[in-house]
Structure 1
């Protein structure tokens, strides 16, 4: 029996748009703190605020946009997100003091949150239902590719050109995004009067999809552990004199994700979520243990492979579970619920883990994170895995 096509025009256009939106995010994220300190004379804590406030604004906008996507219309919402995102990008040109930069970062985060939540919702209806796990895994590769290219390109342009050069590239990329969205055919959802009535007011379930909460909470724990890598790997590799291997870490990590996601997404659809989720926890935990014991470059890069297989599988398949558990007319809310709550782990992780490092050191940090991942697997089994085994 032939499977329905996955690589359609709409799937490609939506994936390209998502890739470019994230590419602009990474271009600026990696250098914004340095720019604030070098050009605006900000203190390190103020520079950290300029970096982190973007994520906070994005998380808040995800919660509110998830509620509005199907009420306002998906294509309208992505245009709203892109309008705010583009306006903020242009405002960077006049961000000549810290206050203006912080305001710009907030607006930029809001636009990013709306746009990326909408593209993630749109793709669900583009993907055939029986290939949803596989399709979301391929779609998530657009973020992986952006995370591999964006930091390198951002640092290169900042070192060899200027901050304004990064902004010009970002504006050009956003023009391409707008063109891709213009030619994108979006399947809109028609809500019934009862569904519209239920979405009125400030009740909790108008902002959060309750059925997506279990996997989202587990996601917050897993993403919390991942924050130990993105926040402290550079300092760790410097401490153990493995900076050369450290510079290749995320390239190897991203390659592992690109290789594994098509396979794990297909297995998700054909063999069920438990078949891929339990190994993802174990591989992530093994990667953290290897990372904690690193004393050679080859060991560091082998950890990157395990971490890519483990975390990469969880992040895409976790989103697929959130959508699978939720009603069709609340896919936008399910998407925003998972992304917002899971990414909260990345938002709060660096602060709390930074308090832990002076006590246990970097090696102790990664061992502790491996334990948290195993605890996350146990929670997954209790909240979801055992029910899935019974077909509940």
Structure 2
């Protein structure tokens, strides 16, 4: 066995993980703060506040459809640097957005740029990570995403409530600018014209890849619905429930994710998705219900830990499941579908949950959001039971041609 081929922590992997961390940090620092800014400064309605998040997510989805084709044609470097340039331009433009319409247009522009870069980095990671350590490697790589999804809102809300909106934008732009030299160094190390192998025929995609990825995409979509409620409305919920330090939820959530991520990758490699998806769903339900009844900062601690354990273990499991379900040439498609289902869940989640909050309250809204992981759990356990039943179903006695290899 070639021991060097099994190395995970290469310089390329470390640099790539850092780039991904900074990219998602730049996203998350504004994703949770711009809704509060839109309501407080631009006097946006609840529906308009939900559009701040959902329009970004929808534009990122549309961008990835183009980005997947560009990856197949060897346009990796173009996606990275053009995507970063567009994202930085949008962040700078937030400062001069004097109306909700201008802010929404800039959010769509940011989504286009983010969709480009966020397609390239995970696909590069799946190429670098040794096959036998894919679950562990994607767990560590995904830790950068989850850590940013937890620490980013904490930093963003602290900057918005402290130094102000200008400092928030400067910090966000700085995080994105730092990726440029790191990406340049990374692309020089990897093949200069890295190119995904030729795309399979349309019939093969429809009959194989899309069918294999549909279930994990659906589960990822349901997982992301509740997360959209956190990103879009947690700051507003803090004001409603008189929780002055609501941003601590993201801090405690980050701690849980950092602890559980390395373990979840190894659990996945040994036991597969069920060992993470079933308990993870229960943790998320518990976290959302505890959050909806929180009346003090101390009550945020168990809620955030439960949600962080669940989300931090389920998200990389779903991504690794999708990557391992396709041929290497189709990893770009798998990663694109993973992030598209995530963004679609966030987009639809913020719109639906925002409508619920409009007629009830944010606390009640979070209780309703717990239905998404419950549905995820019901769908997945039903599929597992059906699969086990089909395996135990005896083959016809009069024919040996229908036997299936386990």
TM range (shorter): 0.7 to 0.9
Gaps of 5+ in 2: 392-404
Change (3 A) 1:181 1:214: same
C-alpha deviations, 1:206-243, integer Å up to 9, x for none? 9x8442121111111121133333444445455555x1
Indicate if the aligned counterparts of 1:273 and 1:321 stay in contact, CA closer than 8 A: yes
Change (3 A) 1:380 1:176: same
Equivalent-residue separation in structure 2 for 1:371 and 1:334 (angstroms): 26
Q: Aligned to 1:25, what secondary structure does the other structure show?
A: helix
Change (3 A) 1:96 1:63: same
TM-score by length of 2: 0.81
Query: In angstroms, what is the RMSD of aligned CA positions?
Result: 3.4
Gaps of 5+ in 1: none
C-alpha deviations, 1:125-183, integer Å up to 9, x for none? 11111211121121122223323443343344445545444444444333321111111
Q: Which residue of 2 aligns with 1:191?
A: 197
Instruction: Pick the aligned partner of 2:81 from 79, 82, 99.
Output: 79
Equivalent-residue separation in structure 2 for 1:253 and 1:80 (angstroms): 32
1:119 CA displacement: 0.8
Change (3 A) 1:36 1:84: same
Equivalent-residue separation in structure 1 for 2:39 and 2:232 (angstroms): 18
C-alpha deviations, 1:241-273, integer Å up to 9, x for none? 5x1463321111111011001001111112222
Equivalent-residue separation in structure 1 for 2:238 and 2:39 (angstroms): 24
Q: Which residue of 2 aligns with 1:120?
A: 122
Q: Which residue of 1 aligns with 2:380?
A: 380
Matched, 1:285 2:282: no
Q: Which residue of 2 aligns with 1:271?
A: 271
Indicate if the aligned counterparts of 1:289 and 1:370 stay in contact, CA closer than 8 A: yes
5 Å-filtered alignment, 1:158-169, equals: 158-161=160-163, 163-169=165-171
Q: Which residue of 1 aligns with 2:212?
A: 211
Indicate if the aligned counterparts of 1:220 and 1:345 stay in contact, CA closer than 8 A: yes
5 Å-filtered alignment, 1:11-50, equals: 11-33=13-35, 35-36=37-38, 46=48, 49-50=51-52
Equivalent-residue separation in structure 1 for 2:254 and 2:296 (angstroms): 20
Indicate if the aligned counterparts of 1:215 and 1:380 stay in contact, CA closer than 8 A: no
Equivalent-residue separation in structure 1 for 2:178 and 2:239 (angstroms): 38
Equivalent-residue separation in structure 2 for 1:317 and 1:38 (angstroms): 38
1:190 CA displacement: 5.2
Equivalent-residue separation in structure 1 for 2:351 and 2:195 (angstroms): 40
C-alpha deviations, 1:259-299, integer Å up to 9, x for none? 00100111111222222222212222232343445455444
Matched, 1:351 2:357: no
Indicate if the aligned counterparts of 1:63 and 1:340 stay in contact, CA closer than 8 A: no
Equivalent-residue separation in structure 2 for 1:231 and 1:148 (angstroms): 13
5 Å-filtered alignment, 1:101-180, equals: 101-161=103-163, 163-180=165-182
Equivalent-residue separation in structure 2 for 1:340 and 1:52 (angstroms): 12
Q: Which residue of 2 aligns with 1:300?
A: 300
Indicate if the aligned counterparts of 2:60 and 2:343 stay in contact, CA closer than 8 A: no
Q: Aligned to 2:140, what secondary structure does the other structure show?
A: helix
Change (3 A) 1:93 1:307: closer
1:353 CA displacement: 2.3
Indicate if the aligned counterparts of 1:66 and 1:335 stay in contact, CA closer than 8 A: no
Indicate if the aligned counterparts of 2:139 and 2:316 stay in contact, CA closer than 8 A: yes
Indicate if the aligned counterparts of 1:67 and 1:333 stay in contact, CA closer than 8 A: no
Matched residue count: 385
Equivalent-residue separation in structure 2 for 1:377 and 1:43 (angstroms): 33
Moved more, 159-168 or 339-348: 159-168
Equivalent-residue separation in structure 1 for 2:255 and 2:63 (angstroms): 31
